[in-house]
Amino acid sequence: MIKLMDRQLITGYFKSYFVCLLSLLSLWVVVDLFTNLEEFTNHKTFVAMFEHVGAYYGFRITKIFDQLCEPIVLMAAMFTIAWLQRCNEQFPLLSAGVSTQRIVLPVMLCATFMLSLTVINQELVIPRVADQLNLDKDDPGGEKALRIQGQCYEPNGIHIIGKSANRKKQTVAEFECTIPKELAGVMLVLTAQEAVYVPGTGRGQGGWLMTNTKPAMLDSAFGDASVLEWIDSGRYFLNTRSVDFQSLTRIPNWYQQISTWQLYKELDKPESGRQASMAVLFHMRLTRPLLGLLLVVMGLSVILRDQNRNVILSSGMCLVLCALFFATLYACKILGDSEVLPPALAAWAPVLGFGPLSLVLFDAVHT
């Protein structure tokens, strides 16, 4: 049964949470906007610039929230309990026989609920707006030439690369594909001045339409139209199953913007690059909610351990603990990405280290 004090703590927590959320998001946006203001001023009118700024940061907020979610949850819990101590509302409850663990239970439940919103944002929202997150500040329409930094392989062994791309037109300049000997009889290299990706599943869809291609014609011995179809002199259609425009033009850390299930499927592909980094991220996705809750438990334990300590001093110690916590997470991630530690150990080591520590600290709180 929810008591009056529980309702007050829940209300106080959500007030603190939204104040911290709006404050940090606003600070981040304002600092980033004025730092890169020149990149937004290439519009003819002020209204166009204002619309571009609003659209850019409207999508960018999802990524900012993903980076700040755990500190915001901790700060909201910290301010809620600190205000409870400052108003001397904790001593009457303790005198009535209510334990400290029971007092902070509503705060812990609220923190768990807000951490679940972080998972929803990570798994459902960010993958849907990933294309908008990759747009540059001075290129809202995706009209600038995008340099292609990677290469892709089809499951049948076809190798595809390109030099630059245009997001708006879905075209790739200096498109090159290498068809292995097993498919073409001889190793075949086709170089097109431009290729456009045609989505769909029908005939002439689900592949790349290459123009101004060298060689302009092929030997009649190559007749597998399911792989490569000759249309006209210098024009071919390359059927692909997995290599589309998005996969070919992905940024180096593209895998950070996909869902955990998509990340799992990428790890199943033998041709996927950066396997170690992707595996570490996959395991860290699994441990993230648990680590966020452990951070809240440790932060509240620091504040509640000595109720006579100054509130500002307790809050400062809590922030120092937060900094050490994220420094440890970052160090484990670097070790995992560098293959010094196995991916699973790099992700679960902070849980194994901070888990017992958080339980000890929380159990040592005076009741």
User: Could you read off the pLDDT tens digit of each residue along the chain, which spans 367 residues?
Assistant: 457 777 888 888 999 999 999 999 999 988 888 887 777 776 667 777 787 788 888 888 999 999 889 889 988 988 888 777 777 666 677 777 777 778 888 888 999 999 999 999 999 999 888 878 877 776 666 667 778 877 788 888 888 888 888 887 888 888 988 888 887 777 888 898 888 888 887 777 888 889 888 888 876 555 566 788 888 888 888 888 888 888 888 777 788 888 899 888 888 876 555 678 889 999 999 999 999 999 999 888 888 876 666 667 777 787 888 889 999 999 999 999 888 989 999 999 999 999 998 888 888 776 6
Phi, psi of 191 (to 5 degrees): -120, 115
Give the integer Cα–Cα distance in Å for 253 and 162: 18
Q: Is the peptide bond prior to 71 cis by the omega test (within 30 degrees of 0)?
A: no
Q: β-strand 171-179 against 228-232: which pairing, if any?
A: unpaired
Residue labelled with tokens 């110690």: 317
* DSSP designation for 59: H
N-to-C CA span, the chain: 21
Contact 193, 211 (CB under 8 A): yes
Other beta carbons within 10 Å of 148: 20
